[in-house]
Chain A
Amino acid sequence: MGLRAFIAKRLVYSFALVVVILCFNFIIFMLMPGDPSAFLMPVDPSEAMTPELMREREQLLADLWGYGQPYHIQLVKYLKNLLSWQFGKSFFYKTEVTNVMNWRIPYTVFLIGGATVIALVIGVVLGIMAIQRRGGLFDSGSVATSLILNSLPTFWIGLLFLLIFYVTLGWFPNAGAFPREWAGGKGPVPFTTSINFSSNALVGVFSIDAEQALKLIGGFTHHAFLPMLTLILFNFGGWLIFTRATMLVTISEDYVITARAKGLKERAVLFKHALKNASLPIVTSAALSFSYVLGGAMITEAVYTYPGLGRFIFDAIAYQDYSVLMGVFYVLSICVIVANIIADLLYGILDPRIRYG
């Protein structure tokens, strides 16, 4: 089987999984307590609920989700809506779910992506350092530290950080993704565009204000620092242990012994021979761990009131905002599936044997 066929097979399989997960979603939200009449409530509280309006809403609901119709029709409408990125209206935010979700996604991507990359780098580097000094104090110390950090509840690390850095030292804020006074688009504007009408030509001037740009980056970093640190501390230990374990396997392989026998330096042996082969499982499990990291990120967002998807789903449960819950759950599942596809493909590309397996 060639690479192309392999990819095609995985894609088809993943699409089937998406459909299964959608059906699963459908069943779960059928089972949820409460009823869709919540969607019928006026979007604007000051709006009076007349019988005509009620009927209109019901009609809308029936058109969109098929309420009051047989289950198989509901399911088909549901699949169609979700596949076309339509999740209905949030009765808490009084707007389309997608509107709220779309501006929240970047925060989560930033948080999870940043934390995963940094944790991965730290974990792999420290894992290799532990292998270099295996049996020594650094080895046992770093493994013990990773074990402990990895088994601490994420939210508890968050609470401690808040206690130390927010309450006691006052170095970092406790909530939000940017300073409060920036709300409503009042943040620093890092670039300006102006149009000048000079004597005979229209000149557009685009200039970057370095000071403002720094301020903008600083504001976001300041707020993302603690959540990211929490996630990194929570995750890097796993990578350290994993790297160490895979490296332990590879350094006892024959080709490593050969490399040593050749008289290569230990450094070269570790990085060029051992790590290269050990990187395969590390890279794939990095992609596969997405679901796990997501759980940690969700709790971290809840602790720091960081406006990502985790916080979004957390609030949605509190307000029983089912359309939000459904939408976010779907998006998260899709993300995990995409991560799994990437893991599969990486494996297929990095290790040709897999394709023929």
Chain B
Amino acid sequence: MKTRENPLVFRAKRFIGFLRILMRVKKGILGLLIIIGFGVVAFIAPVLTPYSPLGEDIETRQPVAQQFCVPVWFKILPFQLIGNRKFSENFKAVDDPGFPKLTNDTANGEWLFITEGSGVSAHLEPNVDYPNPVPIKDYLRKNGSIAITFTREEGILYTESKAYLFKKFDYPFDGPPVAFQGNVELLPNGTTYSIGTAKYLDVPIKVRVFLGLDGSKNWTLWPPLASRESMEIGSLNALIPGFTVNYTTGEVMIRQPMNGRTENGYWIISRASRETANSYIDEEELARLAMGLRIDQSPIPLIFTKTPGKYVYGIELTFIDTYHPEKTVESTVYIDDLYVATYGNSFGLMGTDHQGADLFAQLVYGTRISLYLGIAVAIMTVVLGLSVGLAAGYFGRFVDEFLMRFNDFMLCLPTLPLLIVFAAVLGTTLENLMIIMILLGWNGFARVIRSQTLSLKERPFVEAAKAAGAGSSHIVVRHILPNVMALVYVSLATSVPGAVTAEAALSWLGFFDPGRMSWGRMLYNISHLGGTAQVAVNPVWVLVPGLSISLLAVAFILVGYALDDVLNPKLRMRK
């Protein structure tokens, strides 16, 4: 007689045999493939998207684009299908703002430099840098700057010399951007004269940042002092620290040298993050003031007159040499982090939400939440239902009575309102929602197991086991449990969709975990914060999360049905 097989080998063989039967059921394979697909997406989510689970920039936790962007590929859709050639994307006009380089100095330099008048020269200064207090991006912390120097021997006056540092770039999109954001940091130094304790530059400097179509009018983006409105704004000094403002002429000058390494050793024309897009230091606001526009006028249609087109962005320095002919003078301005970026109305594979967060990242990471919640809730409800069902069915009496009455009671409670009330009482973290779903979900399955156990415990094999002296726990675990496992497997698969859709429904009603972005919450965002108008603009935002929910649900149901087919041969025969 053959010796008994190693139990592990036996189990493995049985499992493989089971899989082989399952593979014969086509819908089972389909369901399994879909689930595996979702599992893979959930697992490799960080590879699929560079953004955080909430769709923000991983490092800065800032939005990645404008609000309510449409997907990039909408551009190639026909007009009838809400496509529009004129959608624009995010665009960085400057490649390396951390260490700006001149074209005539290095091969990869990107800044052109021309002068008007005498005495001005420019060179790279790799060691001078300005600590940016707001780490918008890594490159802004990079060492290196361009130094523009004005020198003059004693005895003559150049009166006014100008330096232009600029870059020509191709704006590649058919439509104008929605917003733009620029930045420049300046450190002035040079020979000085003193009045009291204060030191003043012998050659003060006027600064102007400009942007415009190449060969056409260049618009001043900064300083914001061209209009009367801006002159009346009291806090200009806070707006442009370190500059001297002449409130009658509107002239902005650098008059004093600065120590670049001290706390206030930098001037920032604009470092507005989009988080403060509507605040006073918003670059669009500054540009509007600088261009002398009314509050309801946007600078963008004036600047971006031709799309696509070639544009110039740069800085103009005017060295005012009228005061000290008697000595040799020198003024140097170190320029760093000079960049401009435009923000379009399309972004990524799915667009952005109401906060400018990437929807695709939210979708991909949402897979994790749905799988985690669905599977965890299914396992817990089944385990709970199984234990109570076995106990009630086998031991009967008090447990049974309690279970049945509780079951009746649960049947009378309107489930969804109850879920909502509990969510409101307990708070809406994901784990809380899961606990509520488990507590409300186990009783149906317990009832099924109970009735099965009731019938099983009267079978001859249980009687035989009892006669052989087996204890209750042995009978339940070894004889009854294996006989209800088919039900357990089927119920495991079919409880997942309920949990996933319940979570989606709760999220959509507003009971979502504020720290996590699930598919249901994505749908909440579009219908409550985007509104119907947004549904029409970016239907992908509605379609894809909803389809994902139903695809996942259907996949689990298919697997459940396949398991049912395989494990209940009676059903197979009925066909």
- Point out residues on A near B: beta carbons under 8 Å: 17, 20-21, 24, 28, 31-33, 134-135, 147-148, 151-156, 159-160, 162-163, 166-168, 174, 248, 252, 288, 291-292, 294-295, 298-299, 302-303, 313-314, 317-318, 325, 328-329, 332-333, 335-337, 340
Inter-chain contact A333/B510, CB cutoff 8 Å: no
B411-456, CB < 8 A from A: 411-418, 420-422, 424-425
**B486-529: contact bitstring with A at CB < 8 Å (1 yes, 0 no)?**
00000000000100010011001110000000001001001100
Inter-chain contact A155/B420, CB cutoff 8 Å: no
Bound complex: CA of A32 vs CA of B425, how far in Å?
Answer: 5
**B340-373: contact bitstring with A at CB < 8 Å (1 yes, 0 no)?**
0000000000000000000000000000000000
Bound complex: CA of A313 vs CA of B497, how far in Å?
Answer: 25
- Point out residues on B near A: beta carbons under 8 Å: 408-409, 411-418, 420-422, 424-425, 497, 501, 504-505, 508-510, 520, 523, 526-527, 532, 535-536, 539, 542-543, 546, 549-550, 553-554, 557-558, 574-575
Closest-by-CB residue of A relative to B422 is A28
User: In angstroms, how far is the closest chain A Cβ from the Cβ of B108?
Assistant: 49
Q: Which residues of A contact B542 (CB under 8 A)?
A: 156, 159-160, 163
Q: Which of A135, A154, A167, A325 contacts B505 (CB under 8 A)?
A: A154
Inter-chain contact B425/A155, CB cutoff 8 Å: no
User: Which of B424, B497, B527 lies at the interface centre, i.e. has the most chain A CB atoms within 10 A of its CB?
Assistant: B424
| A298 touching B527 in the complex, CB below 8 Å, given contacts A28-B425, A163-B539 | no
Closest-by-CB residue of A relative to B409 is A20
Inter-chain contact A328/B535, CB cutoff 8 Å: no
Q: Which residues of A contact B554 (CB under 8 A)?
A: 147-148, 151
Q: Which residues of A contact B497 (CB under 8 A)?
A: 151
Inter-chain contact B417/A153, CB cutoff 8 Å: no
Summarize A's interface: helix, strand, loop or mixed: helix
| A151 touching B557 in the complex, CB below 8 Å, given contacts A295-B415, A336-B414 | yes
Inter-chain contact A167/B536, CB cutoff 8 Å: yes
Bound complex: CA of A151 vs CA of B424, how far in Å?
Answer: 25
Q: Which of A24, A152, A332, A337 contacts B550 (CB under 8 A)?
A: A152
Inter-chain contact B412/A340, CB cutoff 8 Å: yes
Bound complex: CA of A318 vs CA of B575, how far in Å?
Answer: 50
Bound complex: CA of A16 vs CA of B507, how far in Å?
Answer: 34
| A299 touching B505 in the complex, CB below 8 Å, given contacts A152-B546, A163-B535, A336-B413 | yes
Closest-by-CB residue of B relative to A295 is B416
Q: Which residues of A contact B422 (CB under 8 A)?
A: 28
Q: Which residues of A contact B505 (CB under 8 A)?
A: 153-155, 295, 299
User: In angstroms, how far is the closest chain B Cβ from the Cβ of A29?
Assistant: 8
Q: Which residues of A contact B409 (CB under 8 A)?
A: 17, 20-21, 24
Inter-chain contact A147/B546, CB cutoff 8 Å: no
Bound complex: CA of A156 vs CA of B508, how far in Å?
Answer: 9
Further contacts, 10 of them, CB under 8 A, given A317-B420, A329-B417: A153-B546, A156-B504, A156-B523, A156-B542, A159-B526, A163-B535, A163-B542, A252-B574, A299-B416, A340-B412
Q: Which of B425, B509, B527 contacts A33 (CB under 8 A)?
A: B425
Inter-chain contact A325/B413, CB cutoff 8 Å: no
User: In angstroms, how far is the closest chain B Cβ from the Cβ of A138?
Assistant: 15
Q: Which residues of B contact A147 (CB under 8 A)?
A: 554, 557-558
Bound complex: CA of A28 vs CA of B422, how far in Å?
Answer: 8
Inter-chain contact A317/B550, CB cutoff 8 Å: no
Q: What are 7 A-B residue pairs whose CB atoms fall within 8 Å in the complex?
A: A17-B409, A134-B575, A156-B504, A159-B526, A291-B414, A294-B414, A299-B509
Inter-chain contact A160/B546, CB cutoff 8 Å: yes
Closest-by-CB residue of A relative to B423 is A317
Bound complex: CA of A298 vs CA of B536, how far in Å?
Answer: 25
Bound complex: CA of A153 vs CA of B498, how far in Å?
Answer: 10
Q: Which residues of B contact A32 (CB under 8 A)?
A: 421, 424-425
Summarize B's interface: helix, strand, loop or mixed: helix
Inter-chain contact B412/A159, CB cutoff 8 Å: no
Closest-by-CB residue of B relative to A156 is B546
User: In angstroms, how far is the closest chain A Cβ from the Cβ of B356?
Assistant: 22
Inter-chain contact B535/A299, CB cutoff 8 Å: no
Q: Which residues of B contact A134 (CB under 8 A)?
A: 575
User: In angstroms, how far is the closest chain A Cβ from the Cβ of B185?
Assistant: 47
Closest-by-CB residue of A relative to B546 is A156
Inter-chain contact A156/B408, CB cutoff 8 Å: no
Bound complex: CA of A283 vs CA of B97, how far in Å?
Answer: 73
Bound complex: CA of A335 vs CA of B414, how far in Å?
Answer: 9
Bound complex: CA of A148 vs CA of B27, how far in Å?
Answer: 13
Inter-chain contact A28/B416, CB cutoff 8 Å: no
Closest-by-CB residue of B relative to A155 is B508
Q: Which of B414, B425, B536, B549 contacts A156 (CB under 8 A)?
A: B549
Inter-chain contact A294/B416, CB cutoff 8 Å: yes
Q: Which of A154, A160, A288, A303 contacts B411 (CB under 8 A)?
A: A288
User: In angstroms, how far is the closest chain A Cβ from the Cβ of B145?
Assistant: 52
Q: Which residues of B contact A162 (CB under 8 A)?
A: 532, 535
User: Which of B523, B532, B557 lies at the interface centre, i.e. has the most chain A CB atoms within 10 A of its CB?
Assistant: B532
User: In angstroms, how far is the closest chain A Cβ from the Cβ of B518?
Assistant: 12
Inter-chain contact A291/B424, CB cutoff 8 Å: no
Inter-chain contact B411/A340, CB cutoff 8 Å: yes
Inter-chain contact A31/B546, CB cutoff 8 Å: no
Bound complex: CA of A159 vs CA of B505, how far in Å?
Answer: 12
CB-CB nearest 3 A-B residue pairs: A295-B416, A151-B553, A156-B546
Inter-chain contact B412/A336, CB cutoff 8 Å: yes
Closest-by-CB residue of B relative to A139 is B575
Q: Which residues of B contact A333 (CB under 8 A)?
A: 412-414
Q: Which residues of A contact B417 (CB under 8 A)?
A: 294-295, 298, 313, 328-329, 332
Inter-chain contact A33/B424, CB cutoff 8 Å: yes
| A151 touching B413 in the complex, CB below 8 Å, given contacts A159-B546, A248-B574 | no
Inter-chain contact B414/A329, CB cutoff 8 Å: yes
Q: Which residues of A contact B575 (CB under 8 A)?
A: 134-135
Q: Which residues of B contact A252 (CB under 8 A)?
A: 574
Q: Which of B411, B418, B510, B550 contacts A151 (CB under 8 A)?
A: B550
Q: Which residues of A contact B501 (CB under 8 A)?
A: 151-153
Bound complex: CA of A154 vs CA of B523, how far in Å?
Answer: 12
Inter-chain contact A329/B421, CB cutoff 8 Å: yes
User: In angstroms, how far is the closest chain B Cβ from the Cβ of A229?
Assistant: 17
Bound complex: CA of A142 vs CA of B510, how far in Å?
Answer: 34
Bound complex: CA of A147 vs CA of B494, how far in Å?
Answer: 12
| A17 touching B412 in the complex, CB below 8 Å, given contacts A33-B425, A167-B536 | yes
Q: Which residues of A contact B546 (CB under 8 A)?
A: 152-153, 156, 159-160
Q: Which residues of B contact A291 (CB under 8 A)?
A: 411-415
Q: Which residues of B contact A33 (CB under 8 A)?
A: 424-425
Q: Which residues of A contact B413 (CB under 8 A)?
A: 21, 24, 291, 333, 336
Q: Which of B408, B415, B550 contacts A148 (CB under 8 A)?
A: B550
Inter-chain contact B510/A318, CB cutoff 8 Å: yes
Closest-by-CB residue of A relative to B506 is A299
Bound complex: CA of A314 vs CA of B424, how far in Å?
Answer: 11
User: In angstroms, how far is the closest chain A Cβ from the Cβ of B527?
Assistant: 6
Q: Which residues of B contact A318 (CB under 8 A)?
A: 510
Closest-by-CB residue of B relative to A296 is B416
Bound complex: CA of A28 vs CA of B411, how far in Å?
Answer: 17
User: In angstroms, how far is the closest chain A Cβ from the Cβ of B361?
Assistant: 21
Inter-chain contact B509/A302, CB cutoff 8 Å: yes
Bound complex: CA of A151 vs CA of B501, how far in Å?
Answer: 8
Bound complex: CA of A336 vs CA of B409, how far in Å?
Answer: 11
Q: Which of B415, B421, B535 contacts A292 (CB under 8 A)?
A: B415
| A21 touching B550 in the complex, CB below 8 Å, given contacts A159-B523, A328-B417 | no
Closest-by-CB residue of B relative to A341 is B412
Q: Which residues of B contact A337 (CB under 8 A)?
A: 412
Bound complex: CA of A248 vs CA of B411, how far in Å?
Answer: 27
Bound complex: CA of A162 vs CA of B510, how far in Å?
Answer: 19
User: In angstroms, how far is the closest chain A Cβ from the Cβ of B42?
Assistant: 19
Bound complex: CA of A165 vs CA of B91, how far in Å?
Answer: 37
Closest-by-CB residue of B relative to A151 is B553
Bound complex: CA of A295 vs CA of B420, how far in Å?
Answer: 11
Q: Which residues of A contact B508 (CB under 8 A)?
A: 153, 155, 299
Bound complex: CA of A17 vs CA of B408, how far in Å?
Answer: 8
Closest-by-CB residue of B relative to A328 is B417
